[in-house]
Amino acid sequence: MKPKEALAILLSAFRQEKIEEDTIGLYVKKLSDIQPALLEATIHRIVDRSKFFPTIAEIRETAASLAGILPMSSEEAMAIVRKADVEEPKYTRDGKYAYTERFWQWPDDLSPRAMEAISQVLTRLGDPVNDRDGERVFGWETDFKRVYGVAAETVKQTALADLSRAALPEPKKALAEPPARVALPEPVDGEQMEKSREMIKAIGENIG
């Protein structure tokens, strides 16, 4: 799906009768770096879930979310950090306890963006366990959530700045038993859709 086609669907779905030529040009320009398949999925997601005509920022953020390139929330990141912080007791040959080894064991499916944000926080805050007494650092988790929020926002804005490499995730393997059928969204009004296309064509010939 191309940006002009995407805009035509949005105009039809949200019953936008009039839109300025400059506005059309701006939307087309700002959505031009989104891959066709991702843009199509994005537009259908917005039509299904939104009540109002979306801003450019809302469209781009929805696309990034579908592509899985946005960092997770502070709570989700904290849960992953807790799980990845592994403590493994070590024993001597005769079975006596020797010491406890700590290491990070990150999940294989953790996205690069999420790992980038988490790594920035760990570098700044240091280890959650005090090396001197082996006790957890007081307030570390609260500090993690606060600092992570700032780091995640930076990672998010970097991701949204260029969506040219963003793509829909690979489809999962088929299940042994097919899932129950889900209701498809109501089709967009064909007549309204055609009017939207004609409107864009009439005033947008000079748009690339």
What pLDDT is stored for residue 131 in this prediction? 77
Per-residue pLDDT tens over the stretch 36-93: 999 999 999 999 999 999 999 999 999 999 998 888 899 999 999 999 999 899 999 9
Whether the Cβ atoms of residue 36 and residue 69 lie closer than 8 Å to each other: no
Position 180 confidence tier, pLDDT thresholds 50, 70, 90: low
| Radius of gyration of the chain measured on its C-alpha atoms | 24
- Which comes out higher in pLDDT, residue 126 or 173? 126
CB 85 within 8 Å of CB 104: yes
pLDDT at 78: 93
Is the separation of the CB atoms in 198 and 17 below 8 Å? no
Q: Residue 64 and residue 57: Cα distance in Å, rounded? A: 11
Give pTM, 2 decimals. Answer: 0.67
| Runs of H (alpha helix) within the chain | 3-13, 21-30, 36-49, 56-67, 74-84, 112-125, 140-161, 190-203
